[in-house]
Amino acid sequence: MRPLTLSRLLVHCAILGAILFAVVVVALKLGAVPVSLYGLVRDLIRVALGQASQLSSEHQLIVFNIRLPRIFLSIFVGASLSVAGASFQALLRNPLADPYVLGISSGASVGAILALIIEPHLALAPAVAALFTPVGAFLGAALTVTAVYFLGRREGQIDSSTLLLAGIISASFLSAIIQFFMATLSGGNYHGMAYWMMGELSTPQQPIVSWILRVGFFIAAGAIYTTAADLNLLLAGEKEAMHLGVDIRRVRIVVYIAASLLTGLAVSVSGAIGYVGLLVPHVMRILFGSDHRILLPTAAFGGAIALVIADTLARTVVSPSELPVGAVTAVAGAPLFLYLLRRRLA
């Protein structure tokens, strides 16, 4: 018997944090303009010491104004998608659940696009306008997950394969709507609509949007973490969890709203990036077990690490051109999805 302790949780998180830091340093170094490791470390130390003014202007621009914000974006998008995936897997009792597979990301994209279309007509203050897209994406995600949940039920019970089919069909239907918007609105200023179809992180975001993403991530992931012990019991089924004192209705509402929020936030800045929410929680379960009190934080770190790596690959492998990061995650994730599906059917 080796129950989970706070110190074990912190040690694992510290290790993953160190790995994330190393990955970030490498990601800062790699790119179309070469930056020496020595120069990078020197600059990082200068920034840490508050001597940012001594940086060479070229490094300042490339490393700190272009690469670093993009890496921060990858960290929070990856962590959000991964935590949302782990939560949906427990709540829908389906190991293949993930915001992308279930069409929730596509729903969030439609919501975000609608928000972008409506927003210029409302003459909002800039701060409110910045919130408009994430809120639209959240509503799109929440509506889609509700629809998929009810479509995926059979005789009052969630049926795994029905749920997956409902999700995949919803995703394809919603993609058609996105295609429609892309075709009819191409003249407008909807910065590269292809973005919504296959996620990418190259669009620079306003600082306020980045802040909304970070604060929103901590609030939503924190809310899900308060239900971590309840999610463990839900793995054995709702009936059993109820007899062990889990308030199922409360857990369901908290996790649905928070996981939809995470999906909406991620999609509103990066479009629909697939498979991070599916793949990362499974890897973390193999490494650290399926106790959500350790799974959720490690999945957040793992998602961040995975997406920083994927985005670095996306911007370097076909340099000076770029791949959408969603293509990179799909190349890695789709075979794993098929492997998990086959193993389940076997």
* Residues at the contact surface with other proteins, assessed by CB under 8 A: 1-6, 9, 89-90, 93-95, 225-226, 228-230, 232-233, 235-237, 239-240, 242-248, 285, 289-291, 293
Residue 299: closest CA among 119, 265, 291, 134: 291
Give whichever of 44 and 229 is closer to other proteins, judged by the CB atom: 229
Rg (CA), the chain: 20
Give the integer Cα–Cα distance in Å for 117 and 109: 12
- What minimum distance in Å lies between the beta carbon of 245 and other proteins? 3
Give whichever of 119 and 159 is closer to other proteins, judged by the CB atom: 159
Give whichever of 55 and 229 is closer to other proteins, judged by the CB atom: 229
- What minimum distance in Å lies between the beta carbon of 201 and other proteins? 30
Give whichever of 91 and 113 is closer to other proteins, judged by the CB atom: 91
Contact yes or no for 16/298 (Cβ under 8 A): yes
Contact yes or no for 284/265 (Cβ under 8 A): no
CB-count burial class (<10 Å; 0-12, 13-18, 19+) for 173: middle
- What minimum distance in Å lies between the beta carbon of 234 and other proteins? 8
* Coil, helix or strand at residue 46: helix
Give whichever of 93 and 153 is closer to other proteins, judged by the CB atom: 93
- What minimum distance in Å lies between the beta carbon of 93 and other proteins? 5
- What minimum distance in Å lies between the beta carbon of 290 and other proteins? 4
Give whichever of 294 and 313 is closer to other proteins, judged by the CB atom: 294
- What minimum distance in Å lies between the beta carbon of 87 and other proteins? 13
3-state helix, strand and coil shares in percent for the chain, rounded to the nearest 5: 75, 0, 25
* Coil, helix or strand at residue 12: helix
Residue pointed to by tokens 């369901």: 252
Give whichever of 176 and 244 is closer to other proteins, judged by the CB atom: 244
Residue pointed to by tokens 């949906």: 88
Q: Is the dihedral of CA 286, 288, 294, 300 positive or negative?
A: negative
- What minimum distance in Å lies between the beta carbon of 302 and other proteins? 16
- What minimum distance in Å lies between the beta carbon of 20 and other proteins? 23
Q: Following DSSP, what letter does each residue of 303-321 receive, concatenated?
A: HHHHHHHHHHHHHHTTTTS
- What minimum distance in Å lies between the beta carbon of 247 and other proteins? 5
Contact yes or no for 70/294 (Cβ under 8 A): no
Give the integer Cα–Cα distance in Å for 173 and 178: 9
Give whichever of 81 and 284 is closer to other proteins, judged by the CB atom: 284
Give whichever of 62 and 164 is closer to other proteins, judged by the CB atom: 164
Residue 105: closest CA among 219, 252, 271, 310: 271
Cα 253 to its chain centre, rounded Å, is 20
Q: Other C-beta atoms within 10 Å of 8: how many?
A: 13
